[in-house]
Amino acid sequence: MSKQMLILDTSCPQCAALLTEGSQILLNAFVHDTHQEGEMRLSALFGDYSVATELELPPGSVVEFRCPRCEASLTLPLACKLCGAPMTSLNLVKGGYVEFCCRRGCQGHALGGIGDIDHMMSLMNRMFETPYD
Ligand SMILES: [Zn+2]
Ligand SMILES: [Zn+2]
């Protein structure tokens, strides 16, 4: 299974705008710790947690993500099980969704959830469209 080639096609849960551009997920972000707002690009590669942004992003800072088209907040009323920061949710074009913690450096930041293997596997299966058990 070539993990490197797996790109998450994401869309806004509110307006259905495509958020993935090439191998990046383009979002607006508000950094709570610094009160800065701007563009942020998350890697759309499954399992890659890299972030590209002009914003200052101190380790541990909490980011609120918004849709660049409709500006809806993508934050869920759900706390990360690891650190208590809010979770962010994006829809997947092929069905389903991904959730990740919005605290920089938290392991829950992993796209795809917080290490729930069953959830990850069913997500992978949906994306590859190959049932596997
Ligand atoms: Zn939107
Ligand atoms: Zn967290």
pLDDT in tens, 71-117: 999 999 989 888 999 999 999 998 888 888 888 888 765 444 444 55
pLDDT in tens, 28-48: 999 999 999 999 999 888 777
Distance 133 CA to ligand 1 centre (A): 34
Distance 73 CA to ligand 1 centre (A): 8
Q: What is the pTM of this model?
A: 0.79
Distance 14 CA to ligand 1 centre (A): 5
Strands (E), 33-130: 36-43, 51-53, 63-66, 75-79, 86-92, 97-101
Name which of 16, 53, 47, 50 is nearest 34 in CA terms. Answer: 53
Distance 107 CA to ligand 2 centre (A): 6
The domain locations on the chain are: 3-127
What is residue 60's predicted lDDT score, i.e. its pLDDT? 87
Distance 115 CA to ligand 2 centre (A): 12
